[in-house]
Chains A and B, each alone.
Chain A
Amino acid sequence: QSALTQPASVSGSPGQSITISCTGTNSDVGGYDYVSWYQQHPGKAPKLMIYEVSSRPSGVSNRFSGSKSGNTASLTISGLQAEDEADYYCSSYTSSFVVFGGGTKLTVL
């Protein structure tokens, strides 16, 4: 029942690309294509950015993309913008329940 592993923080300059990793096991990330990513600004509810590894909900910028290799999922944000500065969380289905990553704080320099 351990949380998925994310880096505590990442940073990038406007216009650059960054990638946030989310590492689990073959019982969660590696075993199912039900990985999703959420963006959370301070004091706000999280917002769904990516679902089922690489699908984007309607209205989410195509600068956000997701992928998975083995037990590690990744969120890539291209063309960084100031408003992308937020906390990001991954989550995965795992044997009948849901597990979240610890969260990554993205700083736009």
Chain B
Amino acid sequence: EVQVVESGGGLVQPGGSLRLSCATSGFTFSSHWMHWVRQAPGKGLVWVTRINDVGSSSTYADSVKGRFTISRDNAKNKLYLEMTSLRAEDTAVYYCARDSHSSGMDVWGTGTTVIVSS
């Protein structure tokens, strides 16, 4: 079964850091670009970042540029999101999503919740 499972969310103070992980299975991870998308409570979907298949290129939304870093380990079939200098507005459910070769994001995890609060 094709699946992605996020972990690592939690409560963190403003200015703090957190590392999210996304474990994948059931498909050739190294053949797909991957995304992180977030959703603040009661709000819509917001794209955060994406990384290419080999991990050599990544792009970020302006709101997280310089604070978040996406990375991947193709040997472990895992995707990561390192988040630093966290702000209250980063509070959201963070989803890991597979890119279906420029045909949308076709596999999504159930998300992991990040709460930034003192």
Say whether A associates with B: no
